[in-house]
Amino acid sequence: MSQSAQSSANEGLKTEQVTELREALAELRGEIEARFGVPGKERADGTLERGRALLEDVGRGVQAQLERFNLKGLYTGLRRAVSTYGMQPRSLDVDPFGLDPASLGRARLLLDFLYDRWWRVQVTGAEKLPAEGRVILVANRSGVLPYDGVMVAHAVEREHPKGLRPRFLMSDWVATSPFSQPLLTRLGGVRACPENAERLLEAGEWIVNFPEGPKGALKPFRERYQLQRFGRGGFVSLALRLNATLIPVAVVGAEEVHPVLFHPNLPRRLLGIPLPVTPTFPLAGPLGLIPLPSQWFIRFGDPIRWDAADRERAEDALFINRTRDEIRNIIQGFLEEEVHRRSSVFRA
Amino acid sequence: MSTGRLPRSLAITGLGTFVGGRVAERALDAPVPPRVVGLDLEIPRSLEGRLPFHRVDLTAPTADSQIAEVLGKKRCDVVLHAAFLTNPQPDCEYAHELEVIGSLHVMNAAAAAGVRKLVVMSSAEVYGPHPDNPNFLSEEHPLRSHPHAHAVQDRVEMEGLLRVFAQRHPEMVVTVLRPCWVMGPSQFSPVTRHFESKRVTTLMGFDPLMQFLHEEDLLGAIELALTRDAPGPFNLAGAGALPLSTLIRLAGKRTLPIPHPLLFRLGYLESMRRAGDSPEAFYDYLRYLWVLDTARAGSELGFQPEYTTKEAWMSLVVSHRLRRYR
């Protein structure tokens, strides 16, 4: 109820009385606000307020720019944005593998959105994650861009009681292509090679490994959820040597984010990087880079631990090969179960 | 930093370089100074009259016997070989004569004179910037050089000769030091010149982790190599690594990101005019990782850098700023 309505309803009153009443009402209102909070103002721990403040900030910035519009200012702003890839602010210290806590903190908003809203990731088997120790998560690689690595890392961070965030390994062409190299490195990605994996494990980091490599990422859509060759078993021998626990992980849904129709050879030879053709890319231009909102399932399997007899066989190529194939079969089984269980690609 | 004692008698080739001159100065200023013999084309002014100097041209065909004569006469037990070019020479053949054949002369002379230890300055550039480098390069990593950088290729060839030489002379301690890019107030190299400009040219979309070594730490590491007997190669770098863009921001400078196909094509024209290396030879070092693992230098050489990468970088930035007011 507004104050003006109050005062107009009491026209017979004197002006002093009206002001007195107004003051009393304002006092009461202040007290109510102080005690119970302003309705709609602090909902969802201040998100609304922050959003409004942000909008006001942006508006003020635009207004200020319009008031003193100069081409040079625009140019400097654009150049700054380009030279920092729009990822300000960044920390002045990064970890030895290039993870930038400030960048990751900023990216979390987007990652949370992708995880909760866009792909609505459903996790099963998270209770099987060990509390500590060296761990290699072995997952199926799918989708062209390493969304699956980021999301598995995000799932572990969310579900693990200690909230530790594993580092995901990425294949060469993602790790060394322009723009994806700085971006993914800051978010915790590391180029997949035995030296890096060993060093990360020894530093106490968990790693997400995709033994299929680019063969899995760039396979055509008709071969979805069919695992490719699992590398040369490097992850098994590494796990045996460093006594790391292997956890099979199946990611369902990532195959549909960028369905690869075919994979032309010419651009790959011209540009030196793979350029797969999806229904939206490159037809829709940059919009084609937006992943499709499929429904995701991430399933963690039982941890595979080693006893002393196993660990003595770290050099045994046949044993390594057999173990590698067992893990591949576990993940293939998970994939088939999950794919059969889901009713639709896009709906839960 | 060094705990042990310097050798009794030390010969330094390349007295005119930063490393040769400063190691000689520091050795002469030590409480128990060793006998230092300098070899170069000419003696630097700051060292005139302080040490016996012999003019030797490493590219001369008889340089090896000249050096052997000096080493024998002065009874030198340790040789520091620092006669390498700081700036890449447009004259590839001269550079090759000096760096590869000259080093061969020094090695052979050291063997002929029965020198106990040979310390050679190489560079971490020999690993080369490659997209498939692991995040940390250890000393065992193959030296893959860079296909376009002739200076680096010469260094790799020299290291190959040195490895064979060390195998043939097991009685001699042969130490190779591979420092990453050295930063500090007295550094004038193509690298520091590149970072001197207000807008630092970078490759668009690439932001590798970089690692620097402070010049004082480099000198400290050389002294350690001279005092302790640690054969083999050693990576030298400051602690920590930072993305290139962060370093440039720390310096208060701006990046000038240029797409690499454009930069490389434009650069070819420029390099043809100057008859120098193609631009990849430098810019690939700002494109791909070549961060060093310095664990071996820490454990076997006792190398503990006093400056981190960030501090080494800031020392260069500060000296650049001060130079503007001189």
Q: If contacts are CB pairs under 8 Å, which of residues 161-190 in chain A contact chain B?
A: 172, 175-179, 181-182, 185-186, 190
Chain A CB within 8 Å of residue B135 CB: yes
B73-97 pLDDT, tens digit per residue, is 999 999 999 999 988 777 888 999 9
Asked if the model's pLDDT at residue A23 lies above 70, the reply is: yes
pLDDT the model gives residue B267: 78
Are residues B219 and B305 in contact, defined by beta-carbon separation less than 8 angstroms? no
Are B40 and B60 spatial neighbours (Cβ–Cβ below 8 Å)? Answer: no
Count: domains in chain A: 1
DSSP alpha helices (H): ranges in A160-253?
Answer: 172-175, 180-186, 194-202, 214-217, 234-242
Lowest mean pLDDT among A7-21, A112-126, B63-77: A7-21
Q: How far is CA A32 from CA A19, A26, A27, in A?
A: 20, 10, 9
pLDDT digits (tens, 9 = 90+) for A247-293: 999 999 999 998 888 888 787 777 766 778 888 887 877 788 889 99
Question: Which residues 2-41 of B are in CB contact (within 8 Å) with A?
Answer: none
Please give the Cα distance from B41 to B142 (Å, whole number). Answer: 33
B135 burial (CB, 10 Å; 0-12 / 13-18 / 19+) is: buried
Please write the tens of the pLDDT for every residue from A308-326. 998 888 889 999 999 999 9
Residue A53 is assigned to a structural domain of this protein: no
The pLDDT value given to residue B198: 83
Check residue B58 and give its pLDDT.
94
Q: What angle do CA B104, B110, B113 make, to 5 degrees?
A: 140
pLDDT of amino acid A88: 54
| Mean pLDDT value of segment A202-213 | 94
- Beta strand B182-183 with B254-258 is unpaired
Q: What is the CATH number of the domain that holds A145?
A: 3.40.1130
Residue A267 lies in a domain: yes
Residues of the domain holding A296: 101-341
In a domain, A14, yes or no: no
Give B198→chain A minimum CA distance, Å. 14
**Share of residues in chain B with pLDDT > 90 (%):** 75
Compare A33 and A26 and report the one with higher pLDDT: A26
Spans of chain B, pLDDT less than 50 = 1-3
User: Residue B74: CB partners within 8 Å, gap ≥ 6?
Assistant: B9, B11, B35, B37, B52
- Residues of B whose CB is below 8 A from A92: 242, 246, 250, 310
Confidence band (pLDDT; 50, 70, 90) for A7? very low
Is residue A43 included in any domain, yes or no?
no
A219 Cα to chain B: minimum distance (Å): 22
Integer Cα distance of B286 and A93 in angstroms: 19
A280 falls within a domain: yes
What pLDDT score does B54 carry?
94
Tell me how crowded residue A69 is: count the other CB atoms within 10 A of its CB. 9
pLDDT number for residue A97: 93
Which chain B residue lies closest to A80 (C-alpha atoms)? B254
- Measured between CA atoms, the residue of chain B closest to residue A179 is B205
Other Cβ atoms less than 10 A from the Cβ of A243: the count is 15
Which tokens belong to B27?
């050795």
The pair phi, psi for residue A165, each rounded to 5°, is -110, 115
Integer angstrom CA distances of residue B21 from A306, A331, B57, B186, B224: 57, 63, 17, 12, 17
Band of residue A99 on the pLDDT scale cut at 50, 70, 90: very high
Cβ atoms of A111 and A148 within 8 Å: the answer is: no
B118 to A56, A292, B11, B111, B183: CA distances (angstroms): 68, 63, 10, 9, 25
Q: Is A131 inside a domain boundary?
A: yes
CB B136 to CB A172 under 8 A?
no
- Chain A neighbours among B 271-290 (CB < 8 Å)? 288-289
Res B3: pLDDT = 46
Question: Phi/psi at B105 (nearest 5 deg)?
Answer: -60, -45
Predicted confidence at residue A69, as pLDDT, reads: 67
pLDDT for res B2: 42
Contacts B260 to A, Cβ<8 Å: 178
Q: Does A270 reach chain B within 8 Å, measured CB to CB?
A: no
Name the band, by pLDDT with cuts 50, 70 and 90, for residue A307.
very high
Q: How far is A106 from chain B (nearest CA, A)?
A: 17
Contact B131 A98 (CB under 8 A): no
Q: Give domain status of residue A6, yes or no.
A: no
Is B257 within 8 Å of A83 when comparing Cβ atoms? yes
* pLDDT of amino acid A98: 92
* Selected residue of A195, A205, A273 to mutate for chain B interface (largest B Cβ count, 10 A): A195
Q: How many CA atoms lie within 13 A of A52 on its CB side?
A: 7
Question: Quick one: closest CA in A to B244, which residue?
Answer: A182
CB B140 within 8 A of CB B300: no
| B131 has a chain A CB within 8 A of its CB | yes
Q: Is residue A336 part of a domain?
A: yes
Find, among B25, B323, B37, B35, the residue nearest to B186 by Cα. Answer: B323
ipTM score here?
0.88
Chain A residue nearest residue B138, CA to CA: A195
- Read off the pLDDT of each residue in A5-11 and give the average, rounded to a whole number: 50
Within an 8 Å CB–CB cutoff, is residue B140 touching chain A?
Answer: no
